[in-house]
Amino acid sequence: MFALVVRFDLRDEDAAAAFDGLVARTAPGIRELEPGTLVYATHGIEGEPLARVFYEVYADRAAFEAHEEQPHVKTFLAERGQYLASTRVEFLTDGPAKGLPDGANG
């Protein structure tokens, strides 16, 4: 398993709305075309209207690399910067879990 969390801080309310639209256009391709992407969950943060957090779980590093090469993801990566004030990426290690594939539950 390969997992990461990404926090995006958006520039302003207009940027946040545009970023959310970009995410909405990207998500169907992830759901429909990426069998190695096991979890791709996007969230807002309570009390922080300009912040978004993505939780991503892939079958393995190769599945993550395949995700990064998809046309819909390349479009997202190329367009997201115009909306961002900052980004933080954290790569995760395995631990106890529920709902993840066998062998990934710590």
Q: Which domain holds residue 32?
A: 2-92
Residue 103 lies in a domain: no
In a domain, 87, yes or no: yes
The model's pTM is 0.91
pLDDT at 103 over 50: yes
User: Which of 79, 83, 86 lies closest to 15, judged by CA?
Assistant: 83
Three-state DSSP state, 16: helix
Tens digits of residue pLDDT in 51-102: 999 999 999 999 999 999 999 999 999 999 999 999 999 999 998 989 887 6
What is the domain count for the chain? 1
pLDDT in tens, 9-44: 999 999 999 999 999 999 999 999 999 999 999 999
CATH code of residue 82: 3.30.70.100
| Residue 17 located in a structural domain | yes
